[in-house]
Amino acid sequence: MPSTHTQVPVGDLHCQHDTYCKEYSTQCISCSEKPDKKGFYQVKLIDTILFPEGGGQPADTGYINDTIKVYNVQRQKLEHIHYTKEPVDVGQVKLTLDWDRRFDHVQQHSGQHLLSAILEQAPYFLETVGWSMKEKTSYVELGTINKAPPTQAQLDEVEQKINDAILKAVPVICHTTSMNNNNNNNNITDDQDDSASRPDSLPADYVGAEGVIRTIEIEGLDKNPCCGTHISHLGHLQSVKLLHTETIRGGNTRLYFVFGQRVLTNLGELYDLSRQLTKSLSVAPHDFIDSVQRLQLQLRTQTKMVKKWQTQMAAYAVKDLQAQLAHNAFLALVYDEEGEGGMAYLNLLCGLIKEKDLLANDVNKAIILASGDRQQGGVMMVLAADDAYLKKVVAKVTSTLEGAKGGGARGRWSGKSPSFVGIEKLTTMTIE
């Protein structure tokens, strides 16, 4: 039975007042009777420490009463809905936050505010027109359609400025302003902030007199409306690394970045990769590029040689096919038992066969091409001048080579066989 209590509105949630609260007691006021099509119950609590997705920040996850996992939290107008796969009883509940996930999101989100603030100031004057937080990296989208994107020297400078601000542990302050929609004109009652209008970034469905507009201030650097959870001072960002840029949408620029623990995670992953490459390439990290380029050159050279040798082998194989067809009126076979040529070699043979016109429109001749280990099988082709005859030959192939299958028409069938044991028997069979 639903409770008569009402929810604290999104914007005034406990998680938005205290980013660092990891456990919290509140009340469940309702839970859907049945799960939705995706298997989730919709749970309403009076208040929450689990942030509902918004402002570019993903939703928090956590637990209700230690055992019921909260997979998602979403805002519906001023309400907050928790999604679980088990029902929750109305009454007192304990919330536990997935702190590692929250702190990661907080570092990236507050870091984005700092990054955008510095980029918008002199001498860069680069406006952030959007941003996105991904699982391993995030990016800001800079409005560079009518101006030059940032240079590497500028990005290095910005990175240093951000890290300097982090070292100073500049305070991050949240200001709140209440909303009053009694006249349906989104007027704002100003109690702490000097803003007198509804921010453009506020979602259109965020309406109601109980609503709260939050403004995040990085002292002396930036002030922007935001619903997300944020650090108390820049020192909790730990560090920043600007990664790379890419041009999109005809001129805007995405600048990728990581803050805090993600810097250490990326460093650890790259260090492990560097050690593996050092062992594989037998060179120091600063020689990786030269070593890889040498290997690429060697590969291109060897690929050309292999192709040349395959062409020569294919020419000999075609001569052998000519000899077979001269002595056998029905079927000829080329079997590459080493299996190194694969389908590329069979296609090369196919081209030469067509060039030499070996089948010569003879409706009673066919050619079988195969490449692969005798025990483990591989790829194969059947060629014939007549489709009816082709079907007959393929029927013999699939009945002789157990498990062989494929498809085709117009004189060519391609397929695979799990074994080529007994493939030579095909040349002695009579096609009726």
Dihedral angle over CA of 347, 349, 350, 355, nearest 10: 130
CA atoms within 13 A on the CB side of 65: 13
Which residues make up the CATH 3.10.310.40 domain(s) of the chain?
Answer: 303-428
pLDDT of residue 107: 98
pLDDT band at 3 (very low <50, low <70, confident <90, very high): low
Query: What pLDDT does residue 48 have?
Result: 98
Nearest to 231 by CA among 173, 190, 287, 149: 173
Residue 221 pLDDT exceeds 60: yes
Q: Which CATH number fits the domain 14-99, given the four candidates 2.40.30.130, 3.40.50.12780, 3.40.50.300, 1.10.10.10?
A: 2.40.30.130
Q: Other C-beta atoms within 10 Å of 182: how many?
A: 7
pLDDT over 80 (residue 351): yes
Q: Where along the chain do the CATH 3.30.980.10 domains lie? A: 103-268
Write out pLDDT tens, residues 361-419: 678 888 999 999 999 999 999 999 888 889 988 998 999 998 999 998 888 999 999 99
d(CA 140, CA 136): 14
- The whole-angstrom separation of Cα 330 and Cα 326 is 10
How far CA 360 is from CA of 162, 329, 353, 376, 385, in Å, comes to: 75, 13, 10, 34, 7
Tell me, what's the pLDDT at 200? 82
Asked if the 303-428 domain carries CATH number 1.10.101.10, the reply is no
CATH 3.40.50.150 for domain 103-268: no
Which amino acid appears at position 256 of this protein?
Answer: Y
Q: Measured between alpha carbons, how far is 42 from 74 in angstroms, rounded to an integer?
A: 10
In whole numbers, what is the pLDDT of the chain averaged over residues? 90
**Both structure tokens of 169:** 């542990």
The span from the CA of 149 to the CA of 252, in Å, is 8
What pLDDT shows up at residue 362? 77
Residue 347 makes CB contacts below 8 A (sequence gap 6+) with none
- The span from the CA of 297 to the CA of 166, in Å, is 45
Is it the case that residue 237 has pLDDT exceeding 70? yes
Of the listed ranges 138-142, 328-332, 379-383, the least confidently predicted one is: 328-332
Nearest by Cα to 31 from 53, 58, 64: 64
Q: H helices of 4-81, where?
A: 14-17
The fraction of the chain above a pLDDT of 70, given in percent, is 94
State residue 387's pLDDT score. 87
How does residue 2 score in pLDDT terms, banded at 50, 70 and 90?
Answer: low
For residue 326, the model assigns a pLDDT of 81
Q: How confident is the model at residue 426 (pLDDT cuts 50, 70, 90)?
A: confident
CB-based contact 205:78 (threshold 8 Å): no
Mean pLDDT for the stretch of residues 329-355: 86
pLDDT digits (tens, 9 = 90+) for 26-81: 999 999 999 999 999 999 999 999 999 998 999 999 999 999 999 999 999 999 99
Using DSSP bridges, classify how beta strands 331-336 and 366-373 pair: parallel, antiparallel or unpaired: parallel
Domain with CATH 2.40.30.130 in the chain: 14-99
What's the CA dihedral at 79, 84, 87, 92 to 10 degrees?
Answer: -60
- Mean pLDDT is lowest, of 81-95, 109-123, 168-182, for 168-182
pLDDT on residue 340? 77
Cβ-proximal residues to 34 (8 Å cutoff; 6+ apart), any chain? 41
Would you place residue 127 in the very low, low, confident or very high pLDDT band (cuts 50, 70, 90)? Answer: very high
CA distance 141 to 246: 10
Reported confidence tier of residue 288, pLDDT bands at 50, 70, 90: very high
The DSSP annotation for 122-173 comes to TTT---EEEEEE-SS-EEEEE--TTSPPPPHHHHHHHHHHHHHHHHTT-BEE
pLDDT of residue 183: 32
At residue 329 the predicted structure's pLDDT band, cuts being 50, 70 and 90, is low
